[in-house]
Amino acid sequence: MNELVRLEKQDGVGVVVIDNPPVNAIGSGVAQGIASALDAAEHDADIRALVILGAGRTFVAGADIRELEELAAGRGPGAPKVHALFKRIEDFPKPIVMAIHGTALGGGLELAMAGHYRVAVADASVGQPEVNLGIIPGAEGTQRLPRIVGIAAAIDLCVSGRPIKAKAALDLGLIDEIVPELRSGAVAFAQKAAQGPHSKTRDHNDRLGDAATNAPLYEAGREQARRIRRNQTAPLAVIDAIQAAATLPFDEGCLAEHEIFFKCVVTDQCRALIHAFFSERAVSKVAGISKDTPVTDIRSAAIIGAGTMGGGIAMALAGAGISVILKDTDSAALDRGLANIRANYESSVKKGRFTPKFVEERLALIQPQTSYDGFASVDLIIEAAFESMAVKKQVFAEIDKIAKPTCILATNTSTLSIDEIATATSRPHMVIGTHFFSPANIMRLVEIVRGAATDNSVVATALGLAKRLGKVGVVVGNCRGFVGNRMMFPYMREAVPG
């Protein structure tokens, strides 16, 4: 053991606690600590089974991305070589139960799959998101995952990179039980596991299918990769690695995965996506905003303007489970806006992104109307009207008289001064810019424009809302065009002849 990993005992079960804040990344120190804990537990007659869990808010959220960045840049050895450790876990003579809370992503899930059993609390998430960094799972994830969940599910999880909740993981067989409390539930599971034999994931070949059955699955996966991750190499490469799992013995499949991983990690795509990964996290660090800055819980919102932007913002909010009042000046404009929203949803259903049930639930959260009824009770009002200062100031003067004192007043303006818009209200400290990019329900960037008087709690709330919507909120200063359009205008000027 070391300062990152400790071994505790509870009722005949050894509990290996990974304590590497903030997300228990599986760097070299954690790997060494787990190996030492295994050494101690193997020779302790009082320990009949092991539980491995994470301290703090999560299991192991993944590998250390800084080490991966060094490898991609050719400056270091990269992530620790955990293959021997994972084999040691599989070969361990006593059953090992991986206890998951928070997230088990990438290397975290690969660690969990090396265990003999996996349990999780209900709100835990698991996944193989490596394609988001331009790589494939590099610690035998493409070899163990299909042995647990089958070829089709493994392809979907690895190509999409999406995490799934514990219930979905249970349905796939990726976890064995959902426990109400992590440590006590895992220990109880381990006590039962100690009474019988346990098998190794590498030996589970019954879900790997055969060549005839798998051929259309590979083709469907490659079509999915080309559709949702156009021109990216890793999503296609990960299918090759999964195919190796189905056609080669485990050790040879691992060698194939290793070779494919290293081909991906040295590409410009990988380096660019890692750069984007760290950039997105850097923009969340804003002067004057800390984790202790108070925020408003946005449970309801109102949008003024049912056009392209207003409709897209309504979809983004409804998609996060927020009830939305969608206002426009007349019924015809509302009807057009709702028709566009429904058409967008129907397109997503055809592409398999949403189910019809999901769409109907989201549409039910959007309430169209031509009046300000209900505006007095919402937590957030977003103005998405015509890009005219006069129009926006008129709208803000109207909503200032209606909205409750704690309501945040936001504008979707792409160029106009937040400070001038705020002068139309009696509460400039509650006014902020939330500039979504079109189509607002899809594009991930939101410029959060801080005015001279905007309160820090309003900025923090906007950042939290962007994250809740699955978007990247970037706080910018108040100037014409802010950042995005301020960069684009010179390009447009130079592109126009004459």
- Give the full edge-to-edge strand order of the sheet including 103-105: 103-105, 125-127, 164-165
Q: Which of 233, 252, 272 is the last residue of a domain?
A: 272
Is 134 within 8 Å of 236 (Cβ atoms)?
Answer: no
Residue-level pLDDT at 385: 95
Before 22, cis peptide (omega within 30)?
yes
Per-residue pLDDT of the chain (498 residues; tens, 9 = 90+): 789 999 999 999 999 999 999 999 998 899 999 999 999 999 999 999 999 999 999 999 988 888 888 888 877 666 667 999 999 999 999 999 999 999 999 999 999 999 999 999 999 999 999 999 999 999 999 999 999 999 999 999 999 999 999 999 999 999 999 999 999 999 999 999 999 899 999 999 999 999 999 999 999 999 999 999 999 999 999 999 999 999 999 999 999 999 999 999 999 999 999 999 999 889 888 988 998 999 999 999 999 999 999 999 999 999 999 999 999 999 999 999 999 999 999 998 887 778 899 999 999 999 999 999 999 999 999 999 999 999 999 999 999 999 999 999 999 999 999 999 999 999 999 999 999 999 999 999 999 999 999 999 999 999 999 999 999 999 999 988 889 888 888 888 888 886
Same domain, 110 and 218: yes
Same domain, 219 and 311: no
Same domain, 251 and 347: no
d(CA 479, CA 486): 9
pTM as predicted: 0.83
User: Residue 160's closest CA among 320, 346, 351?
Assistant: 351
Residue 497 counted as domain residue: no
d(CA 412, CA 428): 16
Domain with 457 in it: what CATH number?
3.40.50.720
Residue 86 counted as domain residue: yes
Same domain, 327 and 220: no
Same domain, 485 and 383: yes
Domain that holds residue 310: 300-492
Active site positions, annotated: 110, 130
DSSP line for 4-42: TEEEEEETTEEEEEE--TTTT---HHHHHHHHHHHHHHH
Query: 199: which 2 tokens?
Result: 């098998």
Same domain, 327 and 454: yes
Residue-level pLDDT at 78: 63
Same domain, 268 and 325: no
Residue-level pLDDT at 79: 61
Residue-level pLDDT at 218: 98
| Total domains in the fold of the chain | 2
Same domain, 148 and 20: yes
Residue 278 counted as domain residue: no
Residue-level pLDDT at 152: 97
Residue-level pLDDT at 498: 67
Residue 294 counted as domain residue: no
Same domain, 241 and 194: yes
d(CA 296, CA 300): 11
Same domain, 371 and 463: yes
Same domain, 139 and 230: yes
Residue 498 counted as domain residue: no
Residue-level pLDDT at 352: 75
